């Protein structure tokens, strides 16, 4: 075995200070990481609150199940309106009115809202 080096009190103090400096740097890094994580958590919480408020404003509820029912109802309504618009265009074409602005506006509206 190699004999241990004997350190002078000054060398011992310097080694201790070096260890403390490394621990301090590690602590600062950890603090920066924790602050970043806290800020991210705050942003996510704010977004959840904002989304919940927007959800409530748009759908009249902040309950997911009720919101799904509202959205499905809106989807059904859109489907009925599309079917009615298609029937209107078909009827207009049958009457020879397929060159009118009504038919063009319908197709333009349908293309804009797929």
Q: What is the mean pLDDT of residues 11-29?
A: 86
Total domains present in the chain: 2
Domain assignment present for residue 100? The answer is: yes
Are 111 and 68 part of one and the same domain?
A: yes
Q: Are 93 and 103 in contact (CB under 8 A)?
A: yes
| pLDDT of the residue at 76 | 92
Q: What would the pLDDT profile of 21-68 be if each residue is shown by its tens digit? A: 889 888 888 899 989 999 888 888 888 778 888 888 888 888 888 888
Among the candidates 22, 43, 62, a domain finishes at: 62
CA distance 75 to 83: 12
CA distance 59 to 74: 10
Among the candidates 36, 62, 88, a domain finishes at: 62
Report the chain's mean pLDDT, rounded to a whole number. Answer: 83
CA distance 114 to 94: 25
The answer to whether the pTM exceeds 0.95 is: no
**Beta-carbon-side half-sphere exposure of residue 48 (alpha carbons within 13 Å):** 6
Are 49 and 68 part of one and the same domain?
A: no
């Amino acid at each position: 075995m190699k004999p241990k080096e004997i350190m002078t009190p000054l060398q011992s103090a310097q080694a201790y200070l070096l260890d403390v400096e490394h621990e301090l740097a590690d602590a600062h890094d950890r603090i920066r990481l924790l602050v970043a994580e806290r800020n991210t958590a705050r942003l996510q919480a704010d977004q959840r609150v904002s989304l919940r408020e927007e959800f409530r404003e748009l759908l009249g509820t902040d309950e997911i199940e009720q919101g799904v029912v509202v959205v499905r109802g809106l989807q059904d309504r859109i489907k009925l309106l599309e079917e009615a618009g298609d029937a209107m265009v078909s009827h207009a074409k049958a009457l020879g009115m397929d060159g009118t602005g009504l038919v063009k506006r319908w197709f333009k509206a349908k293309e804009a809202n797929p």
